Chain A
Amino acid sequence: NAGVTQTPKFQVLKTGQSMTLQCAQDMNHNSMYWYRQDPGMGLRLIYYSASEGTTDKGEVPNGYNVSRLNKREFSLRLESAAPSQTSVYFCASSVWGLDEKLFFGSGTQLSVL
Protein backbone atom coordinates (compact mmCIF):
# COMPACT_ATOMS: atom_id res chain seq x y z
CA ASN A 1 0.00 0.00 0.00
CA ALA A 2 2.75 2.45 -1.03
CA GLY A 3 0.60 5.26 -2.50
CA VAL A 4 2.96 7.88 -4.00
CA THR A 5 6.67 7.10 -3.87
CA GLN A 6 9.37 9.69 -4.53
CA THR A 7 13.09 9.19 -4.92
CA PRO A 8 15.51 10.39 -3.73
CA LYS A 9 14.54 11.77 -0.33
CA PHE A 10 17.56 14.07 -0.12
CA GLN A 11 19.91 15.49 -2.73
CA VAL A 12 22.68 18.07 -2.80
CA LEU A 13 23.71 19.51 -6.16
CA LYS A 14 26.24 22.03 -7.32
CA THR A 15 25.08 24.91 -9.49
CA GLY A 16 24.82 23.75 -13.09
CA GLN A 17 24.42 20.07 -12.34
CA SER A 18 21.40 18.16 -13.58
CA MET A 19 19.22 15.60 -11.95
CA THR A 20 15.88 13.82 -12.25
CA LEU A 21 13.38 13.35 -9.44
CA GLN A 22 11.37 10.18 -9.81
CA CYS A 23 7.75 9.66 -8.79
CA ALA A 24 5.48 6.63 -9.03
CA GLN A 25 1.95 5.98 -7.82
CA ASP A 26 0.18 2.67 -7.45
CA MET A 27 -3.40 3.94 -7.05
CA ASN A 28 -4.27 3.88 -10.77
CA HIS A 29 -4.72 7.67 -10.70
CA ASN A 30 -4.97 9.56 -13.96
CA SER A 31 -3.48 12.89 -12.89
CA MET A 32 -0.05 13.61 -11.45
CA TYR A 33 1.65 16.80 -10.27
CA TRP A 34 4.93 18.29 -9.13
CA TYR A 35 4.92 20.98 -6.45
CA ARG A 36 7.65 22.85 -4.63
CA GLN A 37 7.36 24.09 -1.08
CA ASP A 38 9.26 27.13 0.11
CA PRO A 39 8.98 28.75 3.56
CA GLY A 40 5.94 31.04 3.77
CA MET A 41 5.05 30.39 0.14
CA GLY A 42 2.94 27.29 0.52
CA LEU A 43 3.02 24.77 -2.29
CA ARG A 44 3.39 26.01 -5.84
CA LEU A 45 2.58 23.91 -8.87
CA ILE A 46 5.51 23.35 -11.23
CA TYR A 47 4.02 21.00 -13.84
CA TYR A 48 1.12 18.63 -14.02
CA SER A 49 -0.10 15.78 -16.16
CA ALA A 50 -3.86 15.55 -16.35
CA SER A 51 -3.68 12.16 -18.02
CA GLU A 52 -1.13 9.81 -19.52
CA GLY A 53 0.44 11.41 -22.56
CA THR A 54 -0.21 15.04 -21.56
CA THR A 55 1.79 17.55 -19.56
CA ASP A 56 1.15 21.22 -18.82
CA LYS A 57 2.92 24.08 -17.10
CA GLY A 58 1.87 25.17 -13.67
CA GLU A 59 2.65 28.35 -11.78
CA VAL A 60 6.47 28.07 -11.65
CA PRO A 61 7.71 25.91 -14.60
CA ASN A 62 10.91 27.78 -15.51
CA GLY A 63 14.04 25.67 -15.15
CA TYR A 64 12.18 22.36 -15.08
CA ASN A 65 11.05 19.69 -17.49
CA VAL A 66 8.78 16.73 -16.92
CA SER A 67 8.04 13.36 -18.47
CA ARG A 68 4.91 11.28 -17.97
CA LEU A 69 6.57 7.95 -18.64
CA ASN A 70 3.39 5.92 -18.24
CA LYS A 71 0.26 6.06 -16.10
CA ARG A 72 2.23 5.29 -12.94
CA GLU A 73 5.35 7.42 -13.34
CA PHE A 74 5.97 11.16 -13.60
CA SER A 75 9.51 12.51 -13.44
CA LEU A 76 10.83 16.04 -12.90
CA ARG A 77 14.15 17.09 -14.41
CA LEU A 78 16.40 20.00 -13.52
CA GLU A 79 18.70 20.50 -16.50
CA SER A 80 21.01 23.10 -14.92
CA ALA A 81 20.35 23.51 -11.23
CA ALA A 82 20.38 26.96 -9.65
CA PRO A 83 20.42 27.97 -5.96
CA SER A 84 16.88 29.35 -6.42
CA GLN A 85 15.75 25.76 -6.95
CA THR A 86 16.69 24.81 -3.40
CA SER A 87 13.37 23.62 -2.06
CA VAL A 88 11.30 20.66 -0.97
CA TYR A 89 9.67 18.95 -3.92
CA PHE A 90 6.44 16.99 -3.68
CA CYS A 91 4.89 14.70 -6.20
CA ALA A 92 1.14 14.16 -5.98
CA SER A 93 -1.60 12.30 -7.77
CA SER A 94 -5.37 12.42 -8.00
CA VAL A 95 -8.05 10.27 -9.54
CA TRP A 96 -8.86 12.91 -12.12
CA GLY A 97 -8.72 16.66 -12.31
CA LEU A 98 -6.74 19.42 -10.72
CA ASP A 99 -9.07 20.36 -7.92
CA GLU A 100 -9.66 16.97 -6.45
CA LYS A 101 -8.20 15.54 -3.32
CA LEU A 102 -4.47 15.12 -3.89
CA PHE A 103 -2.33 12.30 -2.54
CA PHE A 104 1.23 13.42 -1.88
CA GLY A 105 4.56 11.65 -1.68
CA SER A 106 6.86 12.27 1.26
CA GLY A 107 8.99 14.82 -0.56
CA THR A 108 12.54 15.39 -1.80
CA GLN A 109 14.72 17.89 0.03
CA LEU A 110 16.97 19.47 -2.62
CA SER A 111 19.84 21.83 -1.91
CA VAL A 112 21.69 23.57 -4.72
CA LEU A 113 25.01 25.06 -3.67
Chain B
Amino acid sequence: DQQVKQNSPSLSVQEGRISILNCDYTNSMFDYFLWYKKYPAEGPTFLISISSIKDKNEDGRFTVFLNKSAKHLSLHIVPSQPGDSAVYFCAASGDNAGNMLTFGGGTRLMVKP
Protein backbone atom coordinates (compact mmCIF):
# COMPACT_ATOMS: atom_id res chain seq x y z
CA ASP B 1 0.00 0.00 0.00
CA GLN B 2 1.66 3.18 -1.21
CA GLN B 3 1.69 5.87 1.46
CA VAL B 4 2.56 8.59 -1.04
CA LYS B 5 0.65 8.67 -4.31
CA GLN B 6 0.91 10.74 -7.43
CA ASN B 7 -2.25 9.84 -9.28
CA SER B 8 -1.38 11.51 -12.57
CA PRO B 9 1.37 9.59 -14.40
CA SER B 10 1.70 12.41 -16.93
CA LEU B 11 0.77 16.03 -17.51
CA SER B 12 1.05 18.17 -20.63
CA VAL B 13 1.11 21.97 -20.41
CA GLN B 14 1.68 24.81 -22.84
CA GLU B 15 4.76 26.96 -22.35
CA GLY B 16 3.98 30.02 -20.23
CA ARG B 17 0.99 28.44 -18.50
CA ILE B 18 0.83 27.06 -14.98
CA SER B 19 1.76 23.45 -14.23
CA ILE B 20 0.14 21.88 -11.17
CA LEU B 21 1.46 18.55 -9.95
CA ASN B 22 -0.42 16.80 -7.18
CA CYS B 23 0.56 14.39 -4.44
CA ASP B 24 -1.55 12.66 -1.78
CA TYR B 25 -0.34 10.87 1.33
CA THR B 26 -2.01 8.61 3.86
CA ASN B 27 0.33 8.66 6.84
CA SER B 28 -0.69 11.49 9.17
CA MET B 29 2.71 11.28 10.89
CA PHE B 30 4.54 12.65 7.86
CA ASP B 31 5.82 16.11 8.72
CA TYR B 32 8.31 17.01 6.02
CA PHE B 33 7.71 16.96 2.29
CA LEU B 34 10.02 17.37 -0.69
CA TRP B 35 9.82 17.52 -4.47
CA TYR B 36 12.53 16.11 -6.70
CA LYS B 37 12.95 16.59 -10.43
CA LYS B 38 14.46 13.97 -12.71
CA TYR B 39 15.69 14.29 -16.29
CA PRO B 40 16.28 11.16 -18.42
CA ALA B 41 19.55 9.35 -17.73
CA GLU B 42 20.20 11.53 -14.67
CA GLY B 43 19.56 11.13 -10.98
CA PRO B 44 16.80 13.07 -9.23
CA THR B 45 17.68 16.54 -7.98
CA PHE B 46 16.12 18.31 -5.04
CA LEU B 47 13.68 21.05 -6.03
CA ILE B 48 11.79 22.39 -3.03
CA SER B 49 10.58 21.29 0.40
CA ILE B 50 8.01 22.21 3.01
CA SER B 51 7.59 21.49 6.68
CA SER B 52 4.20 20.63 8.14
CA ILE B 53 4.24 23.84 10.18
CA LYS B 54 3.81 25.77 6.94
CA ASP B 55 1.17 25.65 4.25
CA LYS B 56 3.17 27.30 1.48
CA ASN B 57 6.78 27.61 0.40
CA GLU B 58 7.95 29.53 -2.63
CA ASP B 59 11.21 29.50 -4.56
CA GLY B 60 11.20 31.50 -7.75
CA ARG B 61 8.81 29.92 -10.23
CA PHE B 62 8.14 26.98 -7.92
CA THR B 63 5.61 26.97 -5.09
CA VAL B 64 4.60 24.04 -2.94
CA PHE B 65 1.28 24.07 -1.12
CA LEU B 66 0.45 21.75 1.78
CA ASN B 67 -3.09 20.95 2.92
CA LYS B 68 -2.65 18.83 6.04
CA SER B 69 -6.33 18.21 6.64
CA ALA B 70 -6.67 16.78 3.14
CA LYS B 71 -3.24 15.10 3.26
CA HIS B 72 -2.46 16.71 -0.04
CA LEU B 73 0.38 18.72 -1.47
CA SER B 74 0.85 20.32 -4.82
CA LEU B 75 3.69 21.85 -6.79
CA HIS B 76 2.93 24.88 -8.93
CA ILE B 77 5.29 25.98 -11.68
CA VAL B 78 4.60 29.44 -13.09
CA PRO B 79 5.34 30.15 -15.86
CA SER B 80 6.15 26.71 -17.23
CA GLN B 81 9.15 26.42 -19.53
CA PRO B 82 10.20 23.63 -21.93
CA GLY B 83 13.22 22.98 -19.70
CA ASP B 84 10.81 22.02 -16.92
CA SER B 85 9.90 18.87 -18.87
CA ALA B 86 10.95 16.06 -16.53
CA VAL B 87 9.61 13.51 -14.07
CA TYR B 88 8.66 15.00 -10.71
CA PHE B 89 8.64 12.93 -7.53
CA CYS B 90 7.12 13.98 -4.26
CA ALA B 91 8.51 12.49 -1.08
CA ALA B 92 7.55 12.56 2.58
CA SER B 93 9.15 11.71 5.89
CA GLY B 94 8.23 11.60 9.55
CA ASP B 95 9.55 10.43 12.89
CA ASN B 96 7.49 7.27 12.94
CA ALA B 97 9.23 5.98 9.83
CA GLY B 98 12.72 6.56 11.20
CA ASN B 99 12.79 9.65 9.03
CA MET B 100 13.13 7.53 5.89
CA LEU B 101 11.87 9.25 2.77
CA THR B 102 8.84 7.66 1.10
CA PHE B 103 8.54 8.56 -2.58
CA GLY B 104 5.53 8.78 -4.83
CA GLY B 105 5.49 7.09 -8.23
CA GLY B 106 6.28 10.25 -10.16
CA THR B 107 4.53 12.48 -12.70
CA ARG B 108 5.99 13.12 -16.14
CA LEU B 109 5.57 16.78 -17.07
CA MET B 110 5.77 17.80 -20.71
CA VAL B 111 5.87 21.53 -21.46
CA LYS B 112 5.12 22.24 -25.09
CA PRO B 113 6.71 25.27 -26.81
User: Interface of A with B (CB < 8 Å)?
Assistant: 4, 40-45, 48, 58-59, 90, 92, 97-99, 101-107
Contact = CB atoms under 8 A, between A and B. Distances in A.
Given A42-B89, A43-B89, A105 B34 contact: no
Contacts of A101: 34, 46, 49
A43 B44 contact: yes
Interface in B47-104: 49, 89, 91, 93, 98-101, 103-104
Interface residues of B, number: 25
B43 interface: yes
B109 to A, nearest CB: 15
Given A48-B100, A99-B32, A103-B46, 10 more contacts: A40-B9, A40-B106, A42-B4, A44-B103, A90-B43, A98-B98, A98-B101, A99-B101, A102-B46, A107-B41
Interface residues of B, dominant DSSP: loop
B42 interface: yes
B45 A104 contact: yes
Contacts of B44: 43, 90, 102, 104
A42, A45, A101: residue with the most chain B Cβ atoms closer than 10 Å: A42
Contacts of A97: 99
Interface of B: 2, 4, 6, 9, 32, 34, 36, 41-46, 49, 89, 91, 93, 98-101, 103-106
A98 B99 contact: yes
Nearest to B46: A101
Given A45-B101, A59-B100, A106 B32 contact: no
